Amino acid sequence: VQRANNITAKAGGGLFETTLTTKDYDLAATLNSGQVFGWEETAGRWSGVVQGRWVELRATPDGIAVRTAAPPGDWNWLKQFLQSEVQLAEILETFTSDDEFLLRAVTRCHGLRLLRQDPWECLACFILSSTKQIVQIRQIVRVLRERFGEPVATPFGIKPAAAFPAAQRLAEVSEAELRQCRMGFRAPYLRAAAQRVAAGEIDLTGIGRMELEAAREELLRFAGVGEKIADCVLLFAYGFPAAFPVDVWVHRVLTKYYFRGRKVPAERLRQFVRQHFGPHAGYAQQYLFHHERTLNHS
């Protein structure tokens, strides 16, 4: 059993530190694999905001070194986000052993994990993701945080940071102001989603208690959210392990390696994914995606 070392050290300058003991955890790959867009790396240190708290993470030989600026309590909020206590090996064991291509991707991306993100932030970010490159999504999200996000405490000497803006905040921002964040035609989608969430018309917390298909239907009620974005939120925020987002990269991989490059009817593809990748298909998807995207420089 992987255990977090719960010793919290109070360092100088309003700084709290600990180390989460993990194995099989590739922090950089995980934060850089297109499932999350709000983390910035400087010299091996990743900083971001989780549950309204500024956090800095650094990979160490025995786990993840953590620094925060506010009393962290039991760190469960961070363990939950990082999914650092999930037994990766148990998930990988569910993959069929006769899929050499998948196994190669798993080996290449050793330690890549799925996070458990805040539903609103995840939904909003993926509404912004359509036909955008990951670097551009990050850029838009950065501007949104700077302009509309709540400031969060940072340690002495660390530049100010802000949380991703709440739905209630974005609901009152004009479409023109959103467009000034360079999100183009996605602006009205984000604005409408924020307004529906803020008004309680769609209950993001309740979705987490639904069965997969019902949860999916509920997410599809948002304008600008189709099957792919819904599946991203189901997998990255709600943790439905069988959710399997199919974007252009994954579609390319699937047809290329499992269907000899032929065109495949959508229903046939869904069927294949369910039966071939199994209950943790979402993890397989993330390995295939990241592997394909990093082929050139790995």
Partner DNA sequence: TCCCAGGCTGCTT
Partner DNA sequence: AAGCAGCATGGG
Determine which residue in the list 91, 230, 234, 273 makes contact with DNA, applying CB under 7 A. 230
* CB 122, CB 137: distance < 8 Å: no
Q: How far is the CB of 188 from DNA (least distance, A)?
A: 8
Task: Kindly list the distances between the CA atom of residue 172 and the CA atoms of 79, 164, 178, 274, in Å, as whole numbers in the listed order.
Answer: 33, 15, 11, 41
Q: Which of residues 24-43 bind DNA (CB under 7 A)?
A: 33-35
By CB under 7 A, residue 225 contacts DNA:
yes
Percentages helix, strand, coil for the chain (3-state, rounded to 5) are: 45, 15, 40
Q: Which of residues 169-208 bind DNA (CB under 7 A)?
A: 179, 182-185
Instruction: Choose between 52 and 188: whose C-beta lies nearer to DNA.
Output: 188
Retrieve residue 242's tokens. Answer: 């069988």
Q: How far is the CB of 143 from DNA (least distance, A)?
A: 10
By CB under 7 A, residue 141 contacts DNA:
no
Q: Radius of gyration (Cα) for the chain, nearest Å?
A: 19
Determine which residue in the list 9, 214, 266, 295 makes contact with DNA, applying CB under 7 A. 266
* CB 57, CB 25: distance < 8 Å: no
Determine which residue in the list 63, 119, 149, 245 makes contact with DNA, applying CB under 7 A. 245
Determine which residue in the list 58, 147, 169, 228 makes contact with DNA, applying CB under 7 A. 228
By CB under 7 A, residue 270 contacts DNA:
no
Q: How far is the CB of 117 from DNA (least distance, A)?
A: 11
Supply angle C-alpha 78, 79, 83, rounded to 5: 120
Instruction: Choose between 75 and 236: whose C-beta lies nearer to DNA.
Output: 236
Retrieve residue 210's tokens. Answer: 């639904």
Q: How far is the CB of 106 from DNA (least distance, A)?
A: 15
Determine which residue in the list 129, 148, 196, 234 makes contact with DNA, applying CB under 7 A. 129
- Tell me the three state secondary structure of residue 257: helix
Beta bridge partner(s), residue 60: 63
List the one residue out of 201, 124, 215, 208 whose CA is nearest residue 166.
124
Determine which residue in the list 18, 237, 285, 291 makes contact with DNA, applying CB under 7 A. 285
Determine which residue in the list 132, 142, 147, 169 makes contact with DNA, applying CB under 7 A. 132
Supply angle C-alpha 11, 14, 17, rounded to 5: 45
Distance, CA of 195 to CA of 152 (rounded, Å):
24
List the one residue out of 291, 286, 253 whose CA is nearest residue 269.
253
Residue count, binding to DNA (CB under 7 A): 42
Interface residues with DNA (CB under 7 A) are: 33-35, 126, 129-137, 179, 182-185, 222-230, 232, 245-250, 263, 265-267, 285-286, 289, 293
